[in-house]
């Protein structure tokens, strides 16, 4: 096994802890709700802004994807 994919002792303890996964699920659901709210607010803001875009551009059918400059 590749060393970079090995779990630490702490990681092994966490994946055996049921509470870890239950907490992770609750946090993930909350973050998803936050992102949906942010998305709704940004879409509403976009409705009030004149965009420099082609006449057939539909922001309801498009998404902005920022490039990732990571490793």
pLDDT tens across 10-61, in order?
Answer: 999 999 999 999 999 999 999 999 999 998 998 888 888 887 878 888 877 8
Taking alpha carbons only, the member of 41, 43, 37, 38 closest to residue 60 is 43
Q: What is the pLDDT of residue 42?
A: 87
Outline where the chain has alpha helix (H).
Answer: 9-15, 18-47
Phi, psi values for residue 12, rounded to 5°? -65, -40
**pLDDT for 68 beyond 90:** no
Cα 59 to Cα 46: distance, rounded to the nearest angstrom: 8
Q: What is the pLDDT of residue 4?
A: 82
């Amino acid at each position: 096994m590749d060393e970079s994919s090995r779990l630490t002792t702490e990681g092994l303890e966490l994946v055996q802890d049921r509470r870890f996964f239950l907490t992770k699920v609750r946090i993930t659901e909350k973050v998803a709700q936050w992102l949906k709210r942010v998305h709704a607010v940004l879409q509403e803001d976009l409705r009030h802004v004149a965009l420099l875009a082609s006449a057939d551009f539909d922001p309801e059918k498009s998404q902005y994807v920022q490039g990732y400059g990571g490793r």
